[in-house]
């Protein structure tokens, strides 16, 4: 199959905008008529400085990032930030305590990692299953916490916050790896935001960190130098050789986002896309099943089962086989939960979703 025959619903690394790939293809062998690829370019060169500075300027414009926040382009993925966050922030208060709002696999892993460095308070009893977000009135937040941590969108379980948690002045840390720039966000409500690029804003290899100035410079002595935000800020994300190509691609994605209306335009598009899939599932309640409570349903990752709430293995296997024939790829659910999952990130078009929904309705007609 060629690219025009495939629709990629992968959870990450995920689909990139066609315009971005074409621009990268055009500049692959000779960037800006320099005769070398970005992949061959010195990260200390003036040409790469322009690339990384342009990416930051575009991001600041797209998210309206206040001047008292720094932007970093780091390695290690979101998983690296599971360690970097506590190593940099637990020292903010003597108790070395952090509050964690655990709503899925990724926030659970982050909490477990943070336990290596200090005391972790999970703000409500462990959930039997990750299908909801407990009401804020049931949370027990510690006023002595150095920070409050949550994952804004859980890709595996399809759980997304539709609100920003209230922390009563304690710095709020958000893992936005799978929903950054899918809607406007008030950066000033956060102490730190991080996001792996490979879902909505680029390709794998770079992790974006947006951190408020007053949270920089408090790293524990055990913190590896490469994870210390102060070191990375002081070297403009070049404490070590940065992921140059991934930063370049991220800049192209930011430019593409700006050209189509930015986060506000994406919010409306993503609402329509996710509503189309959920309405299809809900309109066929004896055939398709979404396990997530409606208020917590993710706009980015839609998990579902076929045949019963726990899934009919034969039907689900047939669905994936038929989908593959139609050019729909990466619809299989995460191995830890099974079933099916459609990821609807920014680069997935409304037309892509329309085709998926039509297939889902057709599959129901044939297999009901």
Q: Are 346 and 183 in contact (CB under 8 A)?
A: no
Residue 253 CA to residue 18 CA, distance in Å, equals: 10
Tokens 């992968």 correspond to 10
Q: Are 81 and 51 in contact (CB under 8 A)?
A: no
Residue 230 CA to residue 298 CA, distance in Å, equals: 34
Tokens 């290899």 correspond to 205
Residue 253 CA to residue 14 CA, distance in Å, equals: 13
Q: State the catalytic residues.
A: 106, 175, 199
How far CA 104 is from CA of 28, 33, 130, 131, 273, in Å, comes to: 38, 47, 5, 8, 23
Residue 16 CA to residue 249 CA, distance in Å, equals: 10
Q: Are 51 and 290 in contact (CB under 8 A)?
A: no
| Closest residue by Cα to residue 134 from 165, 105, 91, 155 | 165
């Amino acid at each position: 199959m060629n690219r025009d025959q495939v629709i990629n619903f992968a959870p990450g690394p995920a689909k990139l905008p066609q315009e971005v790939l074409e621009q990268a293809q055009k500049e692959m062998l000779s960037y800006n008529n320099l005769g070398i690829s970005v992949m061959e370019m010195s990260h200390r060169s003036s040409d790469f400085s322009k690339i990384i500075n342009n990416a930051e300027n575009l991001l600041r414009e797209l998210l309206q990032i206040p001047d008292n926040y720094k932007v970093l382009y780091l390695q290690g993925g979101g998983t690296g930030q599971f360690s970097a966050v506590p190593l940099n922030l637990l020292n903010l208060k003597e108790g070395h305590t952090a509050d964690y709002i655990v709503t899925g696999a990724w926030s659970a892993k982050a909490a477990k990692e943070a336990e290596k460095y200090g005391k972790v308070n999970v703000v409500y009893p462990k959930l039997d299953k990750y299908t909801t977000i407990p009401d804020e009135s049931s949370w027990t937040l510690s006023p002595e916490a150095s920070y409050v941590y949550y994952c804004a969108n859980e890709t595996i379980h399809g759980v997304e916050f539709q609100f920003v948690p209230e922390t009563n002045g304690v710095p709020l840390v958000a893992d936005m790896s799978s929903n950054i720039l899918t809607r406007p966000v008030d950066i000033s409500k956060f102490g730190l935001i991080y996001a792996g690029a490979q879902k909505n804003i680029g390709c794998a290899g770079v992790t974006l960190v947006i951190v408020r100035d007053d949270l920089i410079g408090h790293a524990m002595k055990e913190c590896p130098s490469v994870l210390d935000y102060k070191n990375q800020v002081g070297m403009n994300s070049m404490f070590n050789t940065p992921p140059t190509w991934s930063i370049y691609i991220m800049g192209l994605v930011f430019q593409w986002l700006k050209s189509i209306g930015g986060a506000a335009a994406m919010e409306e598009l993503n609402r329509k896309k996710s509503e189309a899939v959920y309405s299809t599932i809900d309109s066929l309640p004896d055939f398709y099943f979404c396990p997530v409570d409606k208020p917590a349903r993710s706009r980015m990752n839609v998990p579902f089962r076929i045949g019963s709430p726990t899934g009919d293995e034969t039907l689900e296997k047939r669905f994936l086989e038929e989908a593959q024939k139609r050019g729909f790829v990466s619809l299989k659910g995460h191995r830890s939960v099974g079933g099916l999952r459609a990821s609807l990130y920014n680069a997935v078009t409304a037309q892509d979703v329309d085709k998926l929904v039509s297939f889902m309705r057709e599959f129901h007609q044939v297999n009901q």
